[in-house]
């Protein structure tokens, strides 16, 4: 069975079927390795569907722009082998004047299909489904985070839970959309990003970073699962970082957990944020801002680590954020090292097998950690 055949079987569960004389869709990069499926009935439908596609590379951004600008009739002609036809009359999740767009995920143990339900004005909601028992707790975690923030931080522009349900063996999670056709994905850390994170911190602040904190105890548990060589090194480095920061009585709070350009959107001076499945309580709040700056750069294997570190430590908005949440800026190296250890341990603990991209990322995180540890000795 091909990847496309398996995907079609899953869609039937949602009341979506491939059939002739139905709405035309563009399958990318191809049916053998399908990752995106975009409605192509009109240029507007395709443009809205492409909001699911947030490329990180220059090549990807140029390709997205090409898809947005080309007339649909021309795309259908030159991309004919990548076309299919879908209909969704039987789907309880998609209304009469709506259509779906699809993203298959990035691979790895937490990968799941995301469906963007859209109309002619923009995205209406997002539907995620999975057959994996490993992913179901992530849906529940996101639901709890969103409901908590609705109460504690109502001013934040975030998604809202629409439903959690099951159809057969599939678990389904649906949230509202915070996107519109005029929203922009911004790769620079701006004052709006900082203001959003400060609001999140202020609304959920709880306790301080200490040897008995949730963050400390969870990290020590994850360290036990590392191979002995990595465990000794990272455990010793973790203890040194924590010990150096204990006198500062640093506050902890809920974090988004995957605060990146592609999980945020900016429109009319307002920043909105979605995909809260990795949100955690009682963590160093600085992790979100550091992740925003580091992750896009770390995903580019050609970007030198020294250059990435220089970009982070000199970022004015990041330093401003540190000050606003009570984290002295001169400890920036320790904060980044804690972040690197945290994300490395997260990836290591969630699966025994890793995709090539995950392994590449983990290696780069360790390499940057080594680089910053050397700074400690200077």
The predicted structure's pLDDT at residue 33: 87
pLDDT of residue 376: 66
CA 282 to each of CA 165, 228, 249, 269, 348: distance values in angstroms, whole numbers, following the listed order: 29, 28, 13, 29, 21
- Per the CB < 8 A criterion, the answer to whether 292 and 318 are in contact is no
Give me the pLDDT at residue 357, please: 83
pLDDT at 378 (0 to 100)? 54
Instruction: Report in angstroms the alpha-carbon separations of 66 from 42, 59, 61, 325, 375.
Output: 15, 11, 9, 42, 44
Q: Are strands 264-267 and 270-273 parallel, antiparallel or unpaired?
A: antiparallel
Which of the residues in the chain have pLDDT under 50? none
Coil, strand, or helix at residue 114? strand
Instruction: Please compute Rg for the chain using Cα positions.
Output: 22
The side-by-side arrangement of strands in the sheet containing 270-273 is: 157-158, 270-273, 264-267
Residue 335 has a pLDDT of 98
pTM of the model: 0.93
- How confident is the model over 268-313, as pLDDT tens digits? 999 999 999 999 999 999 999 999 999 999 999 999 999 999 999 9
For residue 237, give the nearest of 226, 249, 247 by alpha carbon. 226
């Amino acid at each position: 069975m091909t990847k496309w055949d398996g995907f079609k079987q899953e869609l039937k569960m949602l009341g979506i079927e491939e059939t002739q004389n139905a709405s035309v869709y563009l399958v990318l990069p191809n049916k053998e390795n399908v990752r995106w499926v975009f409605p192509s009935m009109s240029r507007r439908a395709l443009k809205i569907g492409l909001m699911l596609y947030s490329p990180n590379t220059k090549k990807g951004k140029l390709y997205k722009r090409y898809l947005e600008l080309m007339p649909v009739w021309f795309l259908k002609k030159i991309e004919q082998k990548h076309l299919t036809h879908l209909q969704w009359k039987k789907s309880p999740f998609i209304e009469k004047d709506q259509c779906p767009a699809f993203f298959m995920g990035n691979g790895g143990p937490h990968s799941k299909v995301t469906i963007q339900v859209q109309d002619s004005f923009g995205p209406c909601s997002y539907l995620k489904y999975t057959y994996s028992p490993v992913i179901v707790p992530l849906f529940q975690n996101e639901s709890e985070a969103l409901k908590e923030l609705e109460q504690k931080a109502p001013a934040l522009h975030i998604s809202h839970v629409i439903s959690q349900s099951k159809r057969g063996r599939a678990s389904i999670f649906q949230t509202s959309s915070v996107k519109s056709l005029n929203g922009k994905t911004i790769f620079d850390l701006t004052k709006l990003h900082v203001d959003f994170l400060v609001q999140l911190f202020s609304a959920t602040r709880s306790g301080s970073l200490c040897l008995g904190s949730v963050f400390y105890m969870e990290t020590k548990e994850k360290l036990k699962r590392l191979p002995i060589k990595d465990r000794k090194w990272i455990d010793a480095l973790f203890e040194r970082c924590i010990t150096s920061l204990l006198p500062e009585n640093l506050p902890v709070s809920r974090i988004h957990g995957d605060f990146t350009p592609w999980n945020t959107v900016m429109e009319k001076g307002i920043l909105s944020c979605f995909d809260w499945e990795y949100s955690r309580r009682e963590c160093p709040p600085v992790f979100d801002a550091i992740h925003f700056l580091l992750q896009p750069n770390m995903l580019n294997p050609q970007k030198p680590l020294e250059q990435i570190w220089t970009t982070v430590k000199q970022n004015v908005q990041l330093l401003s954020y540190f000050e606003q949440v009570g984290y002295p800026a001169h400890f920036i190296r320790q904060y980044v090292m804690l972040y690197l250890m945290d994300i490395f341990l997260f990836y290591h603990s969630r699966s025994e097998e890793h995709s090539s991209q995950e392994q590449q990322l983990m290696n780069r995180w360790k390499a940057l950690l080594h680089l910053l540890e050397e700074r400690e000795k200077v």
